[in-house]
Structure formats: structure tokens, C-alpha cells
A and B are shown apart, each in its own frame.
Chain A
Amino acid sequence: MAQIFGKSSSSIARVSLVSGFFGFFVFWGVVYMIYWSSWTTAKGVPREQEVPFSHQHHVSGLGIDCRYCHTSVEKSSFAGIPPTETCMTCHSHVWTDAPMLAPERQSLATQQPLNWKRVNDLPDFVFFNHSIHVQKGIGCSTCHGPVNLMPLTWKAHSLYMRWCLDCHEAPEKQIRPRDQIYNMEWQPPPDQRERGLQLLKDYHISQQRLNQLRDCSMCHR
């Protein structure tokens, strides 16, 4: 009877076995890279806006505090994007004719709020609250990066669930004293671990509470 499998078939089988094995990892590796790339997460990509508002100019240049504009960040879940009146407290008398502020003036005249495009936007099935993070020693720059250096605002982290959990599993790595929350230059000091554990105690975050921070229902309510 004739040979069913030709001479080449065993090497073909070997090659396909091996490439199948590696192909599996290459495939999922590529998927993983795409999933975490800034192409998918928009991390690090400056967002164009109707009015080219620059944090670099207003925060580093003029020294305005975050809360002058993001008023509710300490007290509510929502940090808030400033209404047109807030800009106008200054721009009624500085840079009054600048063409790049034309949409601002129109918004004030028509009482229609400006349509700022969201930079950080969690899916609606996630519950997030600014005030608790700010009260418990997590600074703006830990989550939003060096906002004071951004000519146009970009996202500093993926905001994926893994990212939230990385901190919820070990907040002592990032937690800081309350008077450093708005310090955009803050970096964890070399002895952050001891300080962090001490701060957890000071803020009354118990081990039991830390375990709860990983419960699905904490963020998916």
C-alpha cells in the first residue's frame, strides 16, 4: 500500500508544533501589548480642546492652586471642571481679546457651558470618589501625573482595574501627608514604607479596611 504520509510530514508536524507553541505566546503577547498601549488607553496622549487651556501656564506659570478651579475635589466624588465664570474672574480683564478665548466669551454671553472633552473617564459601572482619596493622603500627581507641566491635559495612567488594584493592595507605597496632596513634585522618600505604614495608622485605615478595598462591590456598586 502507498505511504499515507510523505517524507516531509514529520518535519512539518514538528515545525507546526513548535510554532503553535510559540505562536500562542506571541499572539497573546501582541494582544497584551495592544491592550496596554496608549493607542487603546489614550495614556500620555494630549487631548485637543475647543479652548487650548494650559495647566502648565496657569499652575506652574501663575501659581494658581488646583482648588481655585476644581473646587469640589475635597468634598465630593467629583472634582469638577470649572464653569466659564471661573475663567472669567480673571479673563474679564486679562487677555480679553485673545482669539483663542473666543469660545469662552461666547459661552459667557450665551450662558451655554463650554464642552470640555473628558480626559480621564471611567466606565459607568465603576464607582470612584475623589474626596476619600484626597482625605486619605493620595495626591493628585499620583493619579494624574505632572499636571503642572501639561500644555494640554493628558491621561497619566491607563485607569484600568489592575492599576486601581495595584494601589489598593499596597497603598502604603503611595500615601502621603495631608499637606503634600497638592504638591505636584512629591516623590516617595526612601523610607516611604515605614512612613506609609505609619500614615495608614494615622488615617485609621485598618487591615480589615484594606481587605475590603479589594472587594468587587467596593468599586462595582
Chain B
Amino acid sequence: MNRAEDRNIRIPFGNCPKVYRAINRWAIFGCPFGTPVNRSRSSILFAVLALATMLVGCRRDMFQQPYSKPLEPNDFFQDNHMASRPLVANTVARGHLNADQAFYTGKVGTNLVETFPFPITREVLEQGRERFDIYCSPCHGRTGEGNGMIVQRGYPPPPSYHIDRLRQAPVGHFYDVITQGYGIMYSYAQRVEPADRWAIAAYIRVLQKSREAKLAELPPAERAKLEEQK
């Protein structure tokens, strides 16, 4: 069998080895890269070209777009290299005018307020309980005795809410402690909104009341329930 003759006469790509010729029967490409001699080089070229075509689409611009999300680093701002900006001097952030002094500071002038700035309903108390359990109970404990889990692990114990001084303290005091912090206790103003601070103060009053409530003060239905259990 004479290869040269085959090639010359009728086989397209006849200089390919047998395998390619077999494939020729049904494949559309056959042996596209010339003689077997430089086949390896040409298949490398083919692979490189194919990869290059795929890589054309491989930029990550859409995954990391040049806009800022909260807390992302950002080199545009040279002072702290963060996307989060501090407040510009002498400005008020929208919604933070805080004009109602009693509501936002718990004080009128320098005197702590004695009354809540809005009516205390059951919803407010439920909200207060939830917030208290999240933010205060790790140290003050769920009942306010000052023996929370963090205290059990070595944090200096806070005073119990059931001491006389705190029983008699005006509600503004609790609001003020949450807002400003007290002694070694940090401020929770960043994390607890003003309305929630009042709700917590109201719930602390509930905790205090729960220690000295008289049976006679209960609504008749509750009282009957308790008396049954006696």
C-alpha cells in the first residue's frame, strides 16, 4: 500500500495515521493539523487557542463592582480606608435630630425624668423583655439579680436591680445608663434604639415589681389561678 499514492489521489488528510483516517469516516474535523510530524506542537497550539478563547470571558469585574457595600474597605477615602464614613462635623444624620430631650436623653435639663415618654402597653413590655434578654441578661441575669453567665465566667458582678437604691431610682436613670454606660459598663446606645431603651427600662420595672407584688394586687382571674395552686 502506497501512502503517497493514497494521499495524492483521493484521501483527504491522507497523511494522518490510521486512527485519523478511521475517524475521517464520520468526523467533521478529521486531522486538521497537517502532517503527523508536527502534530504534537499543533495540538498544543490548538489547546492554547481554545483555552484563550475561554479566558476572554474571565474577568471578575461583575463580582467585585466598584460600588461600596457596608464595612467594605475602600481606598477612595484616605482617612480610614473604609466605605463606612464618620459623621461630618457640625451635621446631623437624617432621622437623628433628637429634638425631644426627655425621649432621647432621659433627662429634662439635668434632672432624670420620672415618667415614661409614651404609654406602656403589653406590646412594649414584650418588646422590652426580648431586648433585655438579648442585651442585658448575659451580665444582669434574666431576673436582674446580677448573676448572668458572663459574671459567672469572671466579669465583675453588677448590682442587683432589687436593691433599694435602684428600686427608688427614676426611670430616666435606667435609660441614661443604657445610653451613656455606667462605671465599667459600656454604653449600649449603638445597639439599642431609643424606643427599645424605654421598653427595657419598663421591663426592669416589671422585674422589680415581680419581687414585691402583693396577692391582693393581682387581677381576680390570675389570683384564682394562684390560689388553686396553693
Partner of B133, one of A65, A80, A92: A65
Residues of chain A within 8 A (CB-CB) of B26 are 13, 17
| A6 interfacial by beta-carbon distance below 8 Å | yes
Residues of B within 8 A of A5 (CB): 21-22, 25
- Cβ of B58 < 8 Å from any Cβ of A? no
- Docked CA distance A213–B155 (Å): 47
Query: A13 near B22 (CB under 8 angstroms)?
Result: yes
Q: Is the CB of B22 within 8 A of A9?
A: yes
* Cα–Cα, bound, A94→B134 (Å): 19
CB of A2 within 8 Å of the partner chain: yes
Among A6, A65, A81, max chain B CB count under 10 A is at A65
Please indicate the chain B residues that have their CB under 8 angstroms from the CB of A113 in the complex: 71, 82
Cα of A89 to Cα of B62 in the assembled complex, Å: 39
Number of residues on chain B facing chain A (CB within 8 A): 40
Contact residues in A for B11 (Cβ distance below 8 Å) = 4
Q: How far is the CA of A6 from the CA of B70 in the complex (A)?
A: 70
Chain B residue with the shortest CB-CB distance to A111: B80
Neighbour of A9 across the interface among B1, B21, B71, CB < 8 A: B21
Q: Does residue A32 face the partner (Cβ distance < 8 Å to B)?
A: no
Interface residues of B in 122-176 (CB under 8 A from A): 133-135, 138, 149-150, 153-156
* CB neighbours of A63 from chain B (8 A): 138, 149
B71 with A81: CB separation less than 8 A: yes
The residues of A that contact B63 with a CB separation of less than 8 Å are 123-125
CB distance from A128 to the nearest CB of B (A): 10
Please, what's the 1-or-0 string for A83-123, where 1 marks a CB less than 8 Å from any CB in chain B?
10110111011100000000000000000110100000001
Say yes or no for A16: interface residue by CB 8 A criterion.
Answer: yes
| Complex interface: chain B residues within 8 A of A30 (CB) | none
Where chain B touches its partner, the secondary structure class is loop
B2 at the interface (CB under 8 A from A): yes
Q: Is the interface of A mostly helix, strand, loop or mixed?
A: loop
Instruction: Answer yes or no: B65 CB below 8 A from chain A CBs.
Output: yes
Q: Is A78 an interface residue (CB 8 A)?
A: yes
On chain A, the residues within 8 Å of B155 by CB distance are 90, 93-94
Distance in angstroms from A187 CB to nearest chain B CB is 23
A195 to chain B, nearest CB (A): 23
**Nearest Cβ in chain B — how far from A60, in angstroms?**
11
Q: Which residue of B lies closest to A9 (CB)?
A: B22
Q: Which of B43-51, B184-192, B197-205, B210-218 is the interface stretch?
A: B184-192
State A6–B19 Cα separation when bound (angstroms).
10
Kindly report which residue of chain B lies nearest to residue A66, judged by CB atoms.
B134
**A80–B72 alpha-carbon span in the complex (Å):** 11
Let me know if B133 and A93 touch, CB within 8 A.
no
Interface residues of B (CB under 8 A from A): 1-2, 5-6, 10-11, 18-19, 21-23, 25-26, 62-65, 67, 69-71, 73, 80, 82, 133-135, 138, 149-150, 153-156, 184-186, 188, 190-191
18 interchain pairs, CB-CB under 8 A = A4-B11, A5-B21, A5-B25, A10-B22, A12-B18, A12-B22, A13-B25, A62-B149, A62-B153, A68-B191, A81-B71, A89-B185, A90-B138, A90-B155, A92-B186, A93-B156, A124-B69, A125-B65
**What 6 pairs across the A-B complex have the smallest Cβ distances?**
A9-B22, A124-B65, A123-B63, A2-B1, A65-B134, A89-B186
